[in-house]
A and B are shown apart, each in its own frame.
Chain A
Amino acid sequence: MKDISKTIKKVDSDDKSSGKSKYISDYKMENMLHAITVRSKHQKAKIIKRTYPVLKEGYYIIDHTDIPGVNFVKMIFDDMPVFAENEVNYYLEPIALVVGPDKEEVLEIVNSIEIAYEIQIPTYEYTNSVINYNFTKGNIEKAKKESESEIEYTYNTPYQEQLYIEPQGMIGYFENNQVTLVGSIQCPYYVKAAVVSILDSEEDYIRVKQATVGGAFGGKEEFPSLIACHLAIAVHKIKKSVKLIYEREEDMETTTKRHPATIKLKAYMKDNKILGISSNVGIDAGAYIGLSGVVLSRALIAATGVYTIDNLAVNGDVFITNTVPNGAFRGFGAPQMLFAIEMFIHHIAKDINVEPLTLRQSYLAKQNDSTSTTGTFRDPIIMPEMLEKALKESDFIRKEKEYKQENSLKGIGMSWFLHGCGFTGSGEATHINAVVKLEKDKNDLVTILIAAVDMGQGVKTTMRKIVSNILDIPIENVIYNHPDTNLVPDSGPTVASRTIMIVGGLVARAAKQLKENWIDRNYQIFTEKYKQPSYIKWDEDNFRGDAYPAYSWGINIVEVEIDKNTYEVTVKEGWSVYDVGKAIDEQIIIGQADGGQLQGIGYGYMEVMKAVDGKIQQKNVTDYIIPTSVDAPILHTYLIDNPYPLGPYGAKGAGELTLVGGAPAVALAIEHAIGKKVTKIPVTPEYIMELMSNE
């Protein structure tokens, strides 16, 4: 049998390289109008009066008065308006949309709109909690009582901008009595649901299609629903095609980012043992809740990282501030928590004078251990084997000793991490209910009908590979077009490291059905629906039970050197070992892993984004610094198979995992180099200077 992991040619590589692939800004239609968003000039204010200019024929101003449905972006909470009505809650909040044939004139109209505000006092502090979650494991009170000492640290993590190279964008048009939206999106059915709600329409009045997506990283999960609503209201009203592409600055100032977080951890200690940990997490939602509750819950569930701690008290809040709303970003709460817990375990070890590696190993979770939410790690955990590989390849132990003695400003750091695959808890069964279809035509060409989006992670190739392997037909005979809600069932959003494991698993099942029932030269169609494994039990209210059906695991090691004069960090080399079950395509996973790790490393030491007075300061690619090719270290990436019985060919999630360990690994490497405790990221030269001058 051939090994599924063996790399094949990516199906979309050549079209992308040669510029043939159509991204959203490349679409052209007859008489297409341009749209630009009118935005708030204040962080918190009442709108007293709007003065719109007299418009030339063919120009339109669309605002909340044009909304047929209820003025909210349909998500989890009805709190974020599509267009601000009587108040604004963050700087640059959308108020209206100007549409017309000449983009320059559209811009002039935008600039000529006068809005009178009554300014109110904004909040930027973590004071206004709108969601609180808390849970315990074991008996934290007992641990507290029995402890002899407490070790406490507070960790801070910043914004991170996805910085997909393709800015947000969408076009809308009216065709066959449907409002049709084509966009750079991760979740066609999220967009559809939001538009159905805002237009208060029938389902079949809305059609959503995906264009080739130029990177997303979570940034095109829920945010595009807002643009879609703006456009859909316009298209519904004027029945013309409209294009709305964000400028880079507009994208950086107004779209969702990774939630800044403050994480306070306290360990109850006795005889150099951790009896229990209490965690307090605050995340900054920005002006509206959006997905922040779900982000918080993923952070809380990751409270103990890869370690088994018997007694836990976990508490977290979502705070509302008058800043741009934050949202989905690869890792979804876990990068913040994993940074904190990885630093914490290290800092505990230092404080009790134990080798960090020894302390880590003594708490490393094993199969059948109880998770942070008192669920069970059911599947084999192969971290010891992964560790051996990582230590050997990186020569970690020798370097760790030598650099410390040398006093050379060289450092090496290691992080251990895991990521739950798929939606949290029973989300797959209760919220998503994925459906996939596999259709064979009379020429025996097989089409995969799913809503999953290829945003660079390679599912166009891996899904087709799964089907062609199972059916034993050439990959050219398997078709997988960009999703179109008129044609594909709702297999769920392209998020949460679920696409291969959950959707791919269903596609594999459908392929097996087809294989067993294959009739040459006949039209056949097979449908598969998600069924939750019966042993997965999740109590959403009490955060109790199996938070995820499966976990992927990883180890990152990063080596750095600091310049003694400028405190600049050179990331010299990186090593990673991952357990993603089974790679559907080795090269695709390693490529994704390298990118994820560099994005995580960037988060850890380079990428600075701050809001001052509610305004994002780094609003272009010149000021928001991400790693270039010269900054990128050589990355040595290894995969160890650990097949998951319910994943296709044993595959688990991989997309988010690879980002999660980057920040703690690089932060620990810098800590090692300078001999000072690091408690926040990014560990910039400015912060290193501060640490090194506080003797």
Chain B
Amino acid sequence: MVDYFIPTTLIDTLEFINNNEAKIISGATDLMVQRKKGAEITPYFTKKPVFVFNIKELNFIKESYEHIHIGACTPVSDLLNHKGTPSLLRKSIEVMASPALRNLATLPGNIINASPAGDTLPILYILDASVKIETLNSNRIVKVKDVITGPRRTILNSNEMITEVIVPKEEFTKSDFVKVGGRKADAISKISFTYAVKIKENKIIDLRLAFGAVGPVIIRKEELEEKYTNIELSKFKELKQEIINDYRQYITPINDQRSNKEYRKKVALNLLGDFIDTL
């Protein structure tokens, strides 16, 4: 009986997951923590593990005119070394865990783990990033925000694999990512906030905002973004309190071992307010 598989090609992988109850293991940084049973004890997997981390054809960063394509098994540290990586994405990776972890972690891993505190997720949301999901016989492109349905829940079927992350290339007038962790490195977010704005002739023509770790999934409200688009910058600043009030209802953090909901909520709104003030 074959109870695991170490493929070297994508097609072999897709075939295996099509024919077996399988679990794809890539960088494994979340999985090995979730499945560990202790030192010198084999971690617990019920499905057949497929070790894809070293599949060469899934390790790439390619740029087209409009997009950057990132192979599923590309460690995020490669994105730090790549010139064309969108600056927001780079910022989120720079503060993700530790150097050693960044050499294993992948974007699809961050997506499939579907933690509201996932560092790259707010960025992938506001950049309208998509993933390519493949099976043996088909493939589809889905926006990251539509892949994640809840904490630790995604739309992926067991015979499907994310093979590529596709990030549109766009120039923003101003953008930033703020991660609030318990310390300056090697931390899990208490709150994260990101924005990307295009301003033309003093008018906001594109506004995108997202919050991490303050709800069950990443909070991005496109209807609110639309509401405050196509207005003068000065007017936008005047609307600060209204904007904050509009977002307030969607910021629904919890108390846990890392922080409390009052702090998370207030800081999320402070960051929003500061963004408006300093725009």
Contact = CB atoms under 8 A, between A and B. Distances in A.
Q: Do A and B come from one complex?
A: yes
Interface of A: 25, 34, 36, 103-104, 107, 245, 247, 564-568, 570, 606, 608, 610, 617-618, 622-623, 625-631, 685-686, 689, 693
A556 to B, nearest CB: 20
Contact of B267 (A104, A245, A689): A689
Interface string B262-279: 110011001101100000
Interface stretch (B14-22, B119-127, B181-189, B212-220): B181-189
Nearest to B187: A625
B182 A565 contact: no
A627 B38 contact: no
Contacts of B182: 606, 608, 625
A91 B262 CA distance: 29
A685 B263 contact: yes
Given A565-B271, A617-B257, A103 B266 contact: no
18 contacts: A25-B39, A34-B40, A36-B38, A104-B42, A107-B38, A107-B41, A564-B274, A565-B270, A608-B182, A610-B257, A628-B184, A628-B185, A629-B185, A631-B184, A685-B263, A686-B262, A689-B262, A689-B266
Contacts of B273: 565
B133 to A, nearest CB: 30
B258 interface: yes
A623 B258 contact: yes
Contact of A606 (B183, B260, B266, B271): B183
Interface in B75-94: none
Given A103-B40, A568-B180, A689-B263, A623 B257 contact: yes
Nearest to B42: A104
A500 to B, nearest CB: 33
B175 interface: no
- Chain B's interface: helix, strand, loop or mixed, by majority? loop
B37 interface: yes
A34 B41 CA distance: 11
Given A34-B40, A103-B40, A565-B270, A630 B260 contact: no
A628 B186 contact: yes
B221 to A, nearest CB: 20
Report which residue of B39, B182, B267 has the largest number of chain A beta carbons within 10 angstroms of its beta carbon: B182
A356 B125 CA distance: 51
Interface of B: 37-42, 178, 180, 182-188, 191, 257-260, 262-263, 266-267, 270-271, 273-274
Contacts of A606: 182-183
Given A566-B178, A617-B257, A686-B259, A630 B184 contact: yes
A564 B187 CA distance: 20
Contacts of A103: 38, 40-41
A631 B185 CA distance: 8
Contacts of A566: 178, 180, 191, 267, 270-271
A107 B39 CA distance: 11
A196 B180 CA distance: 51
Nearest to A245: B39
A622 B178 CA distance: 20
B41 A104 contact: yes
Contacts of A245: 39
B185 A630 contact: yes
A34 B271 CA distance: 51
A25 B180 CA distance: 36
A107 B266 CA distance: 44
A246 to B, nearest CB: 9
A359 to B, nearest CB: 34
A247 B40 CA distance: 11
Nearest to B179: A566
A632 to B, nearest CB: 9
Nearest to A243: B40
B124 to A, nearest CB: 23
A631 to B, nearest CB: 5
A567 B178 CA distance: 13
Given A567-B263, A631-B185, 16 more contacts: A103-B38, A104-B41, A104-B42, A107-B38, A245-B39, A564-B270, A566-B178, A566-B267, A567-B267, A568-B180, A622-B188, A627-B183, A630-B183, A685-B267, A686-B263, A693-B266
Contacts of A564: 270, 274
Contact of A686 (B260, B270, B271): B260
Contacts of A608: 182
Nearest to B191: A566
A565 B268 CA distance: 9
A107 B37 contact: yes
Contacts of B183: 606, 625-628, 630-631
Contacts of B188: 622
Nearest to B180: A566
A103 B38 CA distance: 9
A565 B274 contact: yes
A103 B36 CA distance: 13
A171 to B, nearest CB: 14
B256 to A, nearest CB: 8
A631 B186 CA distance: 10
A36 B41 CA distance: 12
Nearest to A248: B39
A24 B270 CA distance: 49
Given A104-B42, A107-B38, A565-B270, A618 B257 contact: yes
B269 to A, nearest CB: 10
Contacts of A629: 185
B179 to A, nearest CB: 10
Contacts of B187: 625
Nearest to A563: B180
Contacts of B180: 566, 568, 685
A104 B37 contact: yes
A358 B187 CA distance: 41
A341 B239 CA distance: 48
Nearest to A25: B39
Nearest to B274: A565
A187 to B, nearest CB: 25
A631 B273 CA distance: 27
B267 A565 contact: yes
Q: Which of A565, A606, A685 has the most CB of B within 10 A?
A: A565
Contacts of B260: 686
A107 B185 CA distance: 34
Nearest to B190: A685
B9 to A, nearest CB: 33
A241 to B, nearest CB: 15
Contacts of B37: 104, 107
B151 to A, nearest CB: 17
A628 B180 CA distance: 15
A588 to B, nearest CB: 27
Nearest to A167: B39
Contacts of B270: 564-566
Nearest to B260: A686
Nearest to B40: A103
A627 B270 CA distance: 25
A104 to B, nearest CB: 5
A376 to B, nearest CB: 44
A564 B191 CA distance: 15
A564 B260 CA distance: 18
A691 to B, nearest CB: 12
Give the residue among B38, B180, B273 with the most A Cβ atoms within 10 A: B38
A628 B97 CA distance: 11
Given A566-B180, A631-B184, A247 B263 contact: no
A567 B262 CA distance: 13
Contacts of A107: 37-38, 41
A50 B178 CA distance: 52
Contacts of A627: 183
A630 B274 CA distance: 25
Contacts of A685: 180, 263, 267
A418 B268 CA distance: 42
A290 B267 CA distance: 42
A565 B270 CA distance: 5
A564 to B, nearest CB: 8
